[in-house]
Structure 1
Amino acid sequence: MLQKKSTLMFIFGTTAMLSGPSLAETGCVAVAPQQPLPASSSARTISKINFIRHDIFDLSHPQTVWFHRFANEYHVITTEPTIRDDVLFREGEPLDLAVLAETERLLRSRRYLRQAEVQVTEYCESNQSVVVTVSTWDNWSLLPKISLGHEGGETKSNIGFAEDNLLGTGNQLQAEYFNDSERDGYQLRFLSPNIGGSHWQTAVQYADNSDGESYQFQLNKPFYRISSDWAFNFELSKEIKDISEYELGDEYNEYRSNRDYAEVSGGWKISHYDNQVQHLNVGVTLDDHHFLANDDSTRPQPADRDLSQIWLGWDWFQSDYQKMFNFFQFNKVEDINFGWQASIRLGKLNQGLGAYTTGWNLQATLAKNWQLTPSSWLTYRSEYHQLEGKALASQQLFSNQLRHIYHLTDHQVWISQFQWNVGKNLFRDQRITIGGDDGMRAFPLYYQTGNKSAIASTEYRYITSWHLYQLVDVALAAFVDAGRAWDNPDRTTPIDNDTLYGYGVGVRLLPSHASRGSIISIDLSKPVTDNPELSGWRWRLIAKRDF
């Protein structure tokens, strides 16, 4: 008996030594989520970072079936080094809760992660240190792309696959064959969002389309955090495609576009105070655009243009993020910035770089979100472009988008949006179109085209409690659209310039455990028009990131 007792004591003692001291023995206490740390006059340091990686599906969920277990079994979970590469703090550094929140937002921006939490989980008073735990939940990242859709009077299809988390490294690989109203062909794409933890990114894309070959190569290091000191971007691309011109959704002309584009730029932090940062950017852009007639051309093609330029830019960013739900999407955490965001860029056309004329190019953006009441918000974004050159007609475009989001209840959301564009002498291939993808959901693609447009839309969305086998969240919707595009100097026949109206009902599907995160909208809509070709109800299927 004594021998058995001695053996048990030896086992328990050895286990205790191997497992290390308990929280009580080290003077550390557990910290619950959202619990404030005890007051202290001295700075705290991060003594340890723990990583908890969750698989795609919770197998304890009552709706668990065989394919949930199959997905978890054959999915390569995001590796700890991949997650660690995105962590913006290190062991031994002072604790900064703002940096923890910034890391959480960066992790949530990775499409291969469904959710991320970065929290202080232990506090050690004896040495004023903390333990931080980084918890992540994976998305299903290998997505077959097999679809047949009909939207705005046109049929679209594609087949292929996209892997958004190749072997758990966060790299993306995509291959697909596609066919839509403009072209068909295949496309290959590779993207690495964080090369070796350096926060350098690279993207390589190649497409062989029915209207020509296209490619793109990009290597850049963005301002990936508010305290980043510098940024760099290099991009090289060639795009060959056929561009169609429409009236009332019917194609009447086509021509070929051949664009060669290259840009190299750098940016530097010039001031950083509290949650505000300013950057100075400088770059060189080569932009050569040629147009050719093809077999389906019925009108002369646009004039060639070269807008190569040297430019100087400035941007101002305020960081005031809040975690929101049912804002642009539904049933998922959305990081919404309520700070000001502004940028301006002034370029000088340079004939030494290939530009056809001298002149200047101005681009400016302004964005802000406001909380109006505890249950309503307003978002605003504005862009202004102006192009002036000796051999060019003065060109301007002022674009605005105003959106109001109102939570009637936790399950009911009313979203209203007004967008307007005022242009002057826009290039033919850059004119504003409405219909289908571009607002006016009850009308065909490219139904109206012009230098100016205005669209008002409202959508009521009821977010149901239906979660179909942990795969799809469901919302029901009803919407009304009104809009108009006008001032098209190249129209060939008198066309309907009246304001368009349409309404409909639909279903919104959110693949809750898939890396793409797009809302699938299935709509049944009816245009209000005297055009007999558009009588009756029309159906529409499209995947978009938000409303």
Structure 2
Amino acid sequence: MVLAIGSARSAAAADAPLTVGEVRIVTDDIFETREVEEASGALLLLRRAMNGVHLNTRHYVIRRELLFHTGDPFDPALLEETERNLRDLGFLNNIRVTAIDTTAAGRVNVLVRTREAWTLRTSFSYSLASGGDQRWNVQLADVNFLGHGVTVGAGVGADENASFWNLWYRQRRLFRAGFWLGIDYSQRGDGHVRQVIFNRPFYALDDPWGSEFRAWDKEYDQRFFLSNAGPAGLDPAAGSSLHAPLAYREKGLEARFQWRLSAPREGRVWRFGGGIDVTDQAFHEDLHAVELSDDRVVDLTWLEDENQPYVRETGVEVQPFLWLRTEGRRWRKARFVLQYGPVEDVPLDWEADVRTGPVGGQVGSTTGYGDTRWRTRATATRWFAAPDGYLLVHGNAYGDLGSRRVRTYRYDAIVGWVARRGAELSPWLTRVFAEYAQGGALLGSEAHVLGLDRGLRTLDFDGMAGDHLVRWNVEQGKVLPSEPLGLVRVGFAAFYSGGRAWWRDEQAGPGAVRHEAGFGIRFGPTRSANSQVARIDLAWDLNGDGRPVLTATTRGYF
């Protein structure tokens, strides 16, 4: 009888669903004990100092991000999603969330293991354009302040318009609840930027709801691009952009909400909601005598003519909108896709986001002459697994429907292929990207811009601009097997790029396309919370005098 009862209990346990048992969290130092013991001299002192000064992430910060708890039904998909979410925090490396054993009672014990990243950033970012324009920024920030997952930072810098200093603060899980707080304050030589964001994000695919509230106040000189074939231009065939710095002021409020429509833990995720966006925007500039980028002083009062976008987009804009978002559940781990070495999560399903609603006088707007308008904004992205790598398709667009004088649109589409061959941490990398963009009746500050940060290294930051843009890039690189000081991954690459941006009334034949080629180094930190790819290149303008140009940047797909 006793044997029969024991056998029955064992059979019942075998048939019962598995549940989560003990959840153990282990946080390793920036440098493991083995790495410290193997070092000597200055390197030993450096590794000991980094481990000693850095405060490891508090376990409660990691535990509150877990999508499972002891006693919950065991679901391997939630372990994978938790691992992705921990990577998204930006201050942890080598994250592994794994089931380590199953007890006779059907309880699955889980190990959450992470390696700390160096989160105290004393960073200097620098971009040098071919024409000599510089952007630089010195920052002191910690994205995991005292191990509590809070970001605090301060910085000083300059761009092509003005110098500035800024402060920022980010706190996830405010009051240990689900809310997120962000504060930005920047004082510029040409104005200021102030912003407060209060969110309840979707922390998991199956969260039932999310929301965002945002308020901002911005004032600065905005580059307003003009056609070389327009009233302010001299040469319709000019190969460089023409622009003027115009004082711009914008204040706004936005509130939006979404609810999950789809069933939890299965199939595509669908979310639906809505919101309202209220913006007061205007340029504050005397247009009678404005200095242009080519040093001429001209009269731009023609911008105030009734049918000009400058007038159309001045005033108060109110848009109530409906909001739909969808994403899939398939992901793949990879390296050297958009970063330089760390593990990345590549989504393999379409992601799309659409907002649509009225924005005309019928809802209180004074922009667009108060005419009836309907605005739609949409983005879509898909990564496809391909031999040795991934294919990317990405697009975003917006447009206003209404009378002829208020109709406008803007879109761009990017396709790319990223391939790797060879050793996991020192592969050969091939990158091929292309982009096409277009717009109609665009405000000068909304022009498509081609330059150092977007495609061509031998151009200034805004070397070409217009309502049309086309560009492409082919790059072949090699990641070196060494990791200098155990801190950075380094490689080299050779590239060819081409492109052109133009206004539809300019003369833009095939001869206006700019071509360049060059080579340089690529590197990305391996122990830091910042893993962007940095590029330092020597590039030659194949249409020009053949002199090399030294450039540095960290932005963009390519």
Q: Give the TM-score, by structure 2 length.
A: 0.85
Is 2:269 aligned against 1:289? no
Q: Percent same amino acid at aligned positions?
A: 21
Secondary structure of 2:274's partner? strand
- Equivalent residue, structure 2, for 1:542: 553
Structure 1 residue 147: Cα displacement: 4.7
1:276 & 1:114 partners in 2: Cα distance?
Answer: 29
Structure 1: tracts of 5 or more residues without a match? 1-38
Return closer, same or farther for 1:514/1:380 CA change in 2, 3 Å cut-off.
same
Return closer, same or farther for 1:157/1:383 CA change in 2, 3 Å cut-off.
closer
Is 345-354 or 470-479 further displaced after alignment? 345-354
Return closer, same or farther for 1:147/1:360 CA change in 2, 3 Å cut-off.
closer
Structure 2: tracts of 5 or more residues without a match? 1-12, 226-237, 292-297, 304-309
Structure 1 residue 258: Cα displacement: 0.7
Amino acid at match of 1:289: Q
**Contact kept in structure 2, 1:484 and 1:497, CA below 8 Å:** no
Secondary structure of 2:82's partner? helix
Is 2:24 aligned against 1:45? no
Structure 1 residue 223: Cα displacement: 1.8
1:309-458 to 2 correspondence within 5 Å?
A: 309-351=319-361, 352-356=363-367, 357=370, 358-373=372-387, 375-390=388-403, 392-410=405-423, 411-458=427-474
**Contact kept in structure 1, 2:340 and 2:532, CA below 8 Å:** no
- Equivalent residue, structure 1, for 2:79: 100
Amino acid at match of 2:146: L
Aligned length: 502
Structure 1 residue 518: Cα displacement: 1.4
**Contact kept in structure 1, 2:384 and 2:390, CA below 8 Å:** yes
Is 495-504 or 471-480 further displaced after alignment? 495-504
Q: Deviations over 1:346-366 (max 9, x none)?
A: 121153544432311011222
2:489 & 2:428 partners in 1: Cα distance?
Answer: 14
1:220-235 to 2 correspondence within 5 Å?
A: 220-235=199-214
- Equivalent residue, structure 2, for 1:267: 258
**Contact kept in structure 2, 1:186 and 1:208, CA below 8 Å:** yes
Structure 1 residue 305: Cα displacement: 4.2
**Contact kept in structure 2, 1:112 and 1:139, CA below 8 Å:** yes
Q: Deviations over 1:409-458 (max 9, x none)?
A: 23101010011112111111100010110111222221111101111111
**Contact kept in structure 2, 1:242 and 1:255, CA below 8 Å:** yes
- Equivalent residue, structure 2, for 1:212: 191
Amino acid at match of 1:540: T
Is 2:80 aligned against 1:84? no
**Contact kept in structure 2, 1:85 and 1:196, CA below 8 Å:** no
Return closer, same or farther for 1:392/1:524 CA change in 2, 3 Å cut-off.
same
Secondary structure of 1:331's partner? coil
Secondary structure of 1:293's partner? coil
**Contact kept in structure 1, 2:328 and 2:350, CA below 8 Å:** yes
Structure 1 residue 335: Cα displacement: 0.4
Is 74-83 or 290-299 further displaced after alignment? 290-299
1:341 & 1:158 partners in 2: Cα distance?
Answer: 33
2:556 & 2:445 partners in 1: Cα distance?
Answer: 25
Structure 1 residue 537: Cα displacement: 0.5
Amino acid at match of 1:521: R
Structure 1 residue 149: Cα displacement: 4.1
1:69 & 1:96 partners in 2: Cα distance?
Answer: 39
1:361 & 1:403 partners in 2: Cα distance?
Answer: 29
Is 55-64 or 470-479 further displaced after alignment? 55-64
Is 2:48 aligned against 1:56? no
Structure 1 residue 179: Cα displacement: 1.0
Q: Which of the residues 118, 125, 128 maps onto 1:140?
A: 118
Return closer, same or farther for 1:166/1:184 CA change in 2, 3 Å cut-off.
same
1:509 & 1:469 partners in 2: Cα distance?
Answer: 13
Amino acid at match of 1:278: W
Q: Deviations over 1:31-65 (max 9, x none)?
A: xxxxxxxx954211112110101111124223452
Q: Which of the residues 28, 45, 49 maps onto 1:70?
A: 49
Secondary structure of 1:69's partner? helix
Moved over 3 A (4+): 146-149, 245-252, 294-298, 350-355, 389-393, 493-497, 544-547
1:414 & 1:497 partners in 2: Cα distance?
Answer: 28
